[in-house]
Amino acid sequence: MSDSPGDGKLELKQASKDVKESENVAEKYSAMTVTKNSEMGIGDIAGVPAAFTPVAGHKPVKKQIQFADDKQEFSRFPTKTGRRSLSRSISQSSTDSQGSAASYTDSSDDETSPRDKTQANSKGNSDFCVKNIKQGEFGRREIEIAEQDMSSLISLRKRAQGEKPLAGAKIVGCTHITAQTAVLIETLVVLGAQCRWTACNIYSTQNEVAAALSEAGVAVFAWKGESEDDFWWCIDRCVNMEGWQPNMILDDGGDLTHWVYKKYPNVFKKIRGIVEESVTGVHRLYQLSKAGKLCVPAMNVNDSVTKQKFDNLYCCRESILDGLKRTTDVMFGGKQVVVCGYGEVGKGCCAALKALGSIVCVTEIDPICALQACMDGFRVVKLNEVIRQVDVVITCTGNKNVVTREQLDRMKNGCIVCNMGHSNTEIDVVSLRTPELTWERVRSQVDHVIWPDGKRVVLLAEGRLLNLSCSTVPTFVLSITATTQALALIELYNAPEGRYKQDVYLLPKKMDEYVASLHLPTFDAHLTELSDEQAKYLGLNKNGPFKPNYYRY
């Protein structure tokens, strides 16, 4: 479930520009295109890098798209950006608002690299490096909006303000720098921590938010559109500071951990723990641990129950409908849909589509999940059996080449194909880049692929993640992630000596439950408390944990 919306965003902008210029080609869609453009196109005027100069016409579109792909693939650190797991830690809407907002302010910016500028905030503090400190006020508003939807962090601030559980913590962080992260950072500060922060993705930084944080005194080193060199320079500035040594690491992707490990191994002596939230980063930690090179405890927050459920099941249940509507305005009732894969994402997609009256079939490889699909009332089929008749194909397997050219050839006219699963491997898009097929970009993120006989297949987001490219990640979901991170930091920082050894740990069940309980007030949900007698009967502590570790929820 990972892709880089940073990259996606750039292409998205570029794409919408194309739409404008090829309107005559997609005439019948032009009305809708205009609305799309008015949403998406504002950012175009300013933000498009030189590399993405738009060109009109079909062939160029194709070429241009490939160029974008190439750029991603041959980028100097593709594994770091293109393939990094975001774990949905970034909200599309926040980058969108950034996209439009940035154009207001960015246009007045000079092209000097932030590294070369001397910067100071209104208090004279200059221990930061952002694009433009003057954008601070705008960023503050963004943060305030985010705070509205992140009531759990705010209530955490209130609950823990007195005891300051992070007093003395020196946290160095490397995450996407968005309004939501800012709420997290400021929460950590309220809880007593000192923070230095850098971006884990060269595209995803919201400059205004970075400015607002700097203005508030947090040492932030990040701007949108860093070069690779800038990227590591920022990380280095975060870590390498005289008279200040971090004792906690909050990482997203493992780059910061890697840098500290390579450059400043001595720093690890003081570090109490690493909190890592991405799949990639966790994978790297497990490798380190296996090699016996992990010298501090690390906490894997990616696999906590609450976070997983929200990242996959609940988030995708909503974004599948939203993504399809925004891009195609399809009506769901009575449509035949095949969902490939019945894991958490597939379960969410199926439930949402069924609720809107679609006829949903499921393909699965795992018999247990297949049986679940049966019991939930979905026909379990092989893709080949239904491919001729379905109106929508949704992939969420995490696998590659689930929808092949052969199957694309057999689809009926107007079939919509999209991917909710993993990166861009599930649909074999490359196989569609053959001379006999015509590609028509009808809207941003929507391509018609036209067969010689006139059959059209509607391909969304070029096979990349629909929910990241064409929908949003709600702030509420990010709030779950941020709260989980905050609690993991508190747990690691306050754990008695010896509780955590040099290994990778899952978030303790109790903390996981606490994350959930902090989000319950949003729903005006009233949790029942065990009586003493009941707790004794069940053999539980009244305050949890309530379930054994193997409980499946």
**Site residues (CB under 8 A) for its own copies?**
303, 305-306, 308-310, 313-314, 340, 363-375, 379-383, 385, 398-402, 425, 512-514, 516-517, 519-520, 523, 525-531, 533-534, 537-538, 544, 546-547, 550, 552-553
Closest CA to 553 of 312, 247, 258: 312
Compare residues 383 and 466 and give the one whose CB is closer to its own copies.
383
According to DSSP, the residues that pair with 199 across neighbouring strands are: 175
Smallest distance from the beta carbon of 524 to its own copies, in angstroms? 8
Compare residues 262 and 552 and give the one whose CB is closer to its own copies.
552
- Could you give the 3-state DSSP secondary structure of residue 69? helix
Compare residues 236 and 428 and give the one whose CB is closer to its own copies.
428
Any residues with CB less than 8 A from the CB of 413 and at least 6 apart, and which?
454, 455, 456
Compare residues 145 and 381 and give the one whose CB is closer to its own copies.
381
Compare residues 161 and 543 and give the one whose CB is closer to its own copies.
543
Q: What is the largest CA-CA distance in the chain?
A: 74
- Could you give the 3-state DSSP secondary structure of residue 28? helix
* CA distances, 312 to each of 21, 315, 523, 524 (Å): 37, 6, 20, 23
- Say if CB 208 and CB 179 are below 8 A apart: no
* Ramachandran assignment for 367, one of left (phi > 0), alpha (psi -120 to 50 degrees), beta (any other): alpha
Provide the token pair at 102: 């940035």
Smallest distance from the beta carbon of 207 to its own copies, in angstroms? 34
- Say if CB 14 and CB 68 are below 8 A apart: yes
Compare residues 158 and 400 and give the one whose CB is closer to its own copies.
400
Smallest distance from the beta carbon of 293 to its own copies, in angstroms? 23
Q: Rounded to an integer, what distance in angstroms lies between the CA atom of residue 482 and that of residue 21?
A: 41
Compare residues 248 and 361 and give the one whose CB is closer to its own copies.
361
Smallest distance from the beta carbon of 433 to its own copies, in angstroms? 19
Smallest distance from the beta carbon of 339 to its own copies, in angstroms? 12
Smallest distance from the beta carbon of 394 to its own copies, in angstroms? 14
Any residues with CB less than 8 A from the CB of 142 and at least 6 apart, and which?
94, 97, 98, 101, 179, 182, 206, 208, 209, 212
Smallest distance from the beta carbon of 282 to its own copies, in angstroms? 13
